Structure 1
Amino acid sequence: MDKQILTLDKGTRCTSWNYSGQRLAAGLIDGSLAIYDATDPASSTFNCTSRFKVQESSIVKVVWVPPEFGDAVACIDADGTLSLWEEVIEDTEGHHWKLCKRFERSTSQVLDVQFGDCQTCLKLVAAYSDGQIRIYELLDTLELEKWQLQAEFQNVIDLVSKFGNASCMSASISWNPQRSELQQCSFVLGFNSNTPPLNSPKVWEFDLDHQRWLPVAELSLSEDNSDQVYAVAWAPNIGRPYELIAVATHKGISIWHLGSNPDPDGRLSANKVTTLSGHDDEVWQMEWDMSGMTLATTGGDGVVRLWQSNLNGVWQEQAVLAPAS
C-alpha cells in the first residue's frame, strides 16, 4: 500500500536526499531552502525542521556535500548564482544554517554542480552557461568557506579550442563514484548548447603527474552529430572490468561501457552497447542504485522508469512508476 512520508511546501522546485536518506533539502521558487528530517527512521515520516532564505530568485538545484564534510548543501538559483550553506550548532542559537560561501560569477551562469570526494581533498566541479568548467578544491576540511579555483577549461577534446559565443541551456555532471586509491579523480559532463563540440559527453580525469585535467574518452558516435545532452549518470562499480555510464539525448538513453586500461595516448575505450527508449519526452534526470545494476530515469512525461540488464547483457525495462490519474 502506498504511504505518504511528507508533504512538500507549495512552490517547491527541486529536491535532494542526503547520503543516508534521512534528510531532504527542497528549493522553493521564493528563494527559500527547506530541510526535512526523519522524525522516526522506523516510521519513515519527515517534518520540516528548517526553512531559510537563500536567494531572492527561485532555487533550481540543490546538492548535498559528502557526509564526512558535515551537513551542508550547495544551491543554484535561477540567476545562476552558486552558494554553499552549512548547518552549525551554537550554544546561543542551537541548530541553524549559515552561508559559507557565495562563489563569484561574471556574465555566465552556473548550470550544474557536483562534489567529488577525491584522495587528496574534496573537489567541486561547476558547469557554466558559456561552456566553461571550473574545478574548485577545499583547502581545509574543517572550513567549508575556504575553496580555491584549481582549473578552468571547456568541454572539448582539443584543449586549445575556445568557443567565446557558446550559449548553454543546461549541463549535467556525474563523478566516478569509486574511491579506489588506484584510480584518479574523474567525471563525465555533457552540455545542452548551441555549440556541438561542447555537447558530446567527455570523461575528464586528473593527471597527477602533470597536475591537470585531461579528456580521456568521448561518449558519442560520429552519427550522433554532437546531440544535445540532457543528463549523464556514472554507475557504481562492484566488480565489473569496465565502467558503466548512461547518457540521455533526444534519441533516448545510451548505455556506454568505458574501459579501464588506457592506450599509449592515455585514452580509454568507449563502446555504446544499447539505446533505451520508452519516455515520451526529454529525460531530465537519471540515478543508479548503489549496486550499479538498476537505472532509474524520469523526465518531461512525469514517469519514472527502471532499467536493468539480464545475464546476457540485454537491457530491459523492469518497472514503470506513473502518477495517479
Structure 2
Amino acid sequence: MPCSPLPISLEIGLTFGCILQISVYQTVDTGHEDIIHDAQMNYHGTTLATCSSDEVIKLFDVKDKKQKLIVELRGHQGPVWGLSWSHPIHGNLLASCSYDRSVIVWAEHEGKWVKFYEYKDHKSSVNAVAWAPHEYGLVLACGSSDGIISILTYTSACTWDAVKIPDAHTSGVNAISWAPAVNADFMLNPSLSQTASGLLKRIVSGGCDCLVKIWREDPSTGGWVKEAQLEGGHTEWVRDVAWCPSLSLARQQIASCGQDGCVIVWQSLRRRPDSYINATGLLGGDGGGGGGEDTAEGVWKPVVLATYPDVVWHVSWSLTGNILAVSGGDNKVSYHTYFLISTFFSSVLCSLLVVII
C-alpha cells in the first residue's frame, strides 16, 4: 500500500500566531466505506476532495463551517491513492491515481463533474500525481510502482502528450513534487533573460530504492534528465517528498520522509552572481558540513529534522515555506517551524491544514 491508512473522519484545523496554537475548525464525516488515503483542499480552500479504498472520490463544500457533499466520482477499479487540484487558472480540475494503474483528470463543466482525460499507460499501481506550477501550463506528473514517472502535458491541439522517465526508481515511485516556477537567479540578476536564468521544469521524486532524486526537463529534446541523486539520507523506502514553495533568495529546500521514520530536509544554497555579492557583501558557499550532491545551483546537504518510532507517511510545507507538517504511523501530526538561523524547532500538535484524526 503506497499511502497511509487513514480513518473515515477528517478535521480541518487553523493555526493562530507564531506559537502555532491549534483549534479544530471543522469536522467532516466523509461517509467513505473504507480507508481514506488522501484529502486535498482546492486552491481557495472551499472544496475538500477525499479518496478511499472504496474506489470513490468525494467532493465536499466546506465553506462557512458547513459540510455538503457535492458529488461522488466513480471511475477507478481499485483503491484510489492520491489526488491533486490544478490551479484555478486552468479551470476546476482534479487529478486522481489508483491501484488500477490509471490516472484520471476530472473537470467541472457547466456545474457537472465529468471525466476529462484518462491515462492508462502504466503497468502497475500509480501512487502519486502532482500538477505543475500553473506558469508551465497544464502539466501533470505521475509516479508508478513500475518505476516510471510520466509527464502529461495538455497541448494547444487539445490533446495530451506523454513523456516518460524510465527506471526512475527501482521497484517503484512513491512520491513526486514540483519545484517552484520562479527562478531565484533571475530575481538576483534581472539582466538575465528568463530562459538564460534556467526557468526549467524540475521535479523531485522518492521511491522504493530509498533514494530522493531531482529531475529536470531538457528543452532541446523535450525529455527529462536526472539532475541529482540525493544519497546519505534514508535507509528504507521514501514515502513522500515536498519541494519547499518559498521563493527564498538564499536557499532551496526539499523535505522527505520514509519507512525508516526519518524526516530529512535537503538544503541547497543558491550560487549568487558576482554583481550581487559585490553589492551586498554576501558570500556564497555550500553551507558547510556533510555530504551531498552537486546541482546546477549548489550542493544539497541532508539535515535530519526528526526521527520517529514509526513510519512517516507525509510531509507538507506551508505556503510561505517556514512551517513543515509531518504525519506518521503514530497517528500524530507535528509542526516544525523554520527560522532564518537555519534551525528547526518542532512541537508535537494534534492538527494539520487538513487534519486526520
Q: TM-score range by the shorter chain?
A: 0.7 to 0.9
Q: Secondary structure at the match of 1:291?
A: coil
CA distance in 2, matches of 1:261, 1:203: 18
The residue that corresponds to 1:121 in the other structure is 137
Deviation sequence 1:153-196 (CA, Å, 0-9, x none): 3327xxxxxxxxx433x51111013345442111100102xxx4
Contact 1:274 / 1:315 at 8 angstroms: preserved in 2? no
- The alpha-carbon deviation at position 229 of structure 1 amounts to 0.9
- Judge conservation of contact 2:175–2:207 (CA < 8 Å) in 1: yes
Alpha-carbon distance between aligned partners in 2 of 1:27 and 1:68, rounded to the nearest angstrom: 24
Structure 1 counterpart of 2:216: 205
Counterpart-to-counterpart distance in 2, 1:184 and 1:324:
35
2:163 is aligned to 150
Is the 1:230–1:284 Cα contact (8 Å) retained in structure 2? yes
Contact 2:141 2:152 in 1 (8 A): yes
Deviation at 1:132, TM superposition (A): 1.3
Query: What is the distance in 1 between the residues matched to 2:116 and 2:295?
Result: 38
1:37 is aligned to 2:61: yes
Corresponding position of 1:233: 242
Shift in Å, 1:106: 4.9
Using the alignment, how far apart are the partners of 1:115 and 1:9 within structure 2?
A: 27
Name the structure 2 match of 1:254: 264
- SS at the partner of 1:100? strand
Distance 2:299 2:347 in 1: 26
Q: Is the 8 A contact 1:17 1:23 kept in 2?
A: yes
Instruction: Return the alpha-carbon distance in structure 2 between the equivalents of residues 324 and 68 of structure 1.
Output: 29
Distance 1:61-1:206 versus aligned 2 partners, 3 A rule = same
Distance of aligned partners of 1:311 and 1:65 in 2 relative to their CA distance in 1, 3 Å threshold: closer
SS of 1:240's equivalent? coil
Residues 27-75 of structure 1 deviation map (CA, whole Å, 9 limit, x = unaligned): 2333222111134xxx332311112322232322121122211111111
Q: What TM-score, normalized to structure 2?
A: 0.74
1:185 paired residue among 178, 201, 208? 201
**Which amino acid is 2:263 matched to?**
I
- Which AA in structure 2 matches 1:47? K
CA deviations on 1:62-99 (whole Å, 9 max, x unpaired) are: 2112221111111122323211111110xxxxx21111
Answer with 15-24 or 55-64: which moved more: 55-64
Query: What is the TM-score normalised by the length of structure 1?
Result: 0.81
Give the distance between the partners of 1:3 and 1:291, measured in 2 at CA. Answer: 21
The answer on 1:175 being equivalent to 2:178 is yes
SS at match of 1:68: helix
Give the Cα separation in 1 of the matches to 2:140 and 2:356. Answer: 38
CA-based RMSD of the aligned residues comes to 2.8
Give 1:244's match in structure 2, choosing from 253, 267, 276. 253
For 1:60, the equivalent position in structure 2 comes to 81
Whether the aligned pair in 2 keeps the contact of 1:19 and 1:66 (CA below 8 Å) is: yes
More divergent stretch after superposition (107-116 vs 203-212)? 203-212
Q: Alignment identity in percent?
A: 21
Does residue 76 (structure 1) correspond to residue 105 (structure 2)? The answer is: no
Contact 2:81 2:128 in 1 (8 A): no
Distance change in 2, residues 1:324/1:120 (3 Å): closer
Please list every run of 5 or more consecutive structure 2 residues that lacks an aligned counterpart in the other structure: 1-22, 184-193, 273-293
Q: Return the alpha-carbon distance in structure 2 between the equivalents of residues 225 and 315 of structure 1.
A: 19
